[in-house]
Chain A
Amino acid sequence: AQSVTQPDIHITVSEGASLELRCNYSYGATPYLFWYVQSPGQGLQLLLKYFSGDTLVQGIKGFEAEFKRSQSSFNLRKPSVHWSDAAEYFCAVDLVRGKLQFGAGTQVVVTP
């Protein structure tokens, strides 16, 4: 069955430290891949997306993600986190006809 897995439910990181959020998918072909961020009480904001081409994708707010076909992964990274990066992060794949399947989310807590 098609699935999106975010292995880390919760990550705590110090301000200024690097951040990596993991995402693995199980799908027959290479799907369209997305990372969204949801701040407390807010909607979903698209950070970046991968459709094809360069496997290293740059997004907003200093985030980037790397698609690795061999590992069926699409991990999100940021070199230096800011307190405002504290939020819930969702990986998603487009299964078909715009039907997004989301991972369970990773909550990021940023400490001073």
Chain B
Amino acid sequence: DTAVSQTPKYLVTQMGNDKSIKCEQNLGHDTMYWYKQDSKKFLKIMFSYNNKELIINETVPNRFSPKSPDKAHLNLHINSLELGDSAVYFCASSQGTGSVRYTFGSGTRLTVV
């Protein structure tokens, strides 16, 4: 019955590889987000999608590409992984483009070696 689920929970990969993180929500929300938490635990928004439309795109390298096949899914694809991409990535969802019913996933810990 997980509301916002991310897979995988842990991901260890080598520099230069391409990887994806998947996110699914079963709350019926129409907006989904990706946040990055760095090694100092600082959280920063990367992207948000509303009804499959990109509405927030922070200054994130082009190697990061979100994809939303439908309202319930927002995947994050990362090309040419770098050491600095190591972080915890959180998916979240809300109803509407507001934070009234924000729900976070449990995170994906990405380690680039």
Instruction: Count chain B residues whose beta carbon lies closer than 8 angstroms to a beta carbon of A.
Output: 24
**Stretch of B12-20, B42-50, B79-87 that contacts chain A:** B42-50
**B residues less than 8 Å from A100 (CB atoms):** 35, 43, 45, 99, 102
Chain A residue nearest to B95 in the complex (CB):
A98
Q: Is B94 touching A98 in the complex (CB atoms < 8 A)?
A: yes
Q: Is B106 touching A34 in the complex (CB atoms < 8 A)?
A: no
* CA distance in complex: A58, B92 (Å): 23
- Interface residues in B48-79 by Cβ distance below 8 A to A read 48, 55-56
Which of A43, A51, A94, A101 is within 8 Å of B104, CB to CB?
Answer: A43
Which of A34, A44, A49, A99 is within 8 Å of B90, CB to CB?
Answer: A44
**B residues less than 8 Å from A36 (CB atoms):** 104
Q: Is B99 touching A44 in the complex (CB atoms < 8 A)?
A: no
A42 on the B face (CB < 8 A): yes
B111 on the A face (CB < 8 A): no
Sort chain A's interface into a size bin. 20 to 34
* CA distance in complex: A44, B102 (Å): 10
* CA distance in complex: A28, B84 (Å): 33
**A residues less than 8 Å from B40 (CB atoms):** 104
**A residues less than 8 Å from B48 (CB atoms):** 97-99
- Interface residues in B30-45 by Cβ distance below 8 A to A read 31, 33, 35, 40-45
Q: Is B41 touching A94 in the complex (CB atoms < 8 A)?
A: no
A74 on the B face (CB < 8 A): no
Provide a sorted-by-A list of 9 A–B residue pairs whose CB atoms are within 8 angstroms: A43-B104, A43-B106, A44-B104, A46-B102, A51-B100, A97-B97, A98-B33, A98-B102, A104-B40
The 7 A-B pairs with the shortest beta carbon distances in the complex, nearest first, are A43-B106, A94-B99, A102-B43, A97-B97, A44-B104, A98-B97, A105-B41
| Further contacts, 4 of them, CB under 8 A, given A43-B90, A98-B56 | A32-B98, A32-B99, A90-B43, A101-B45
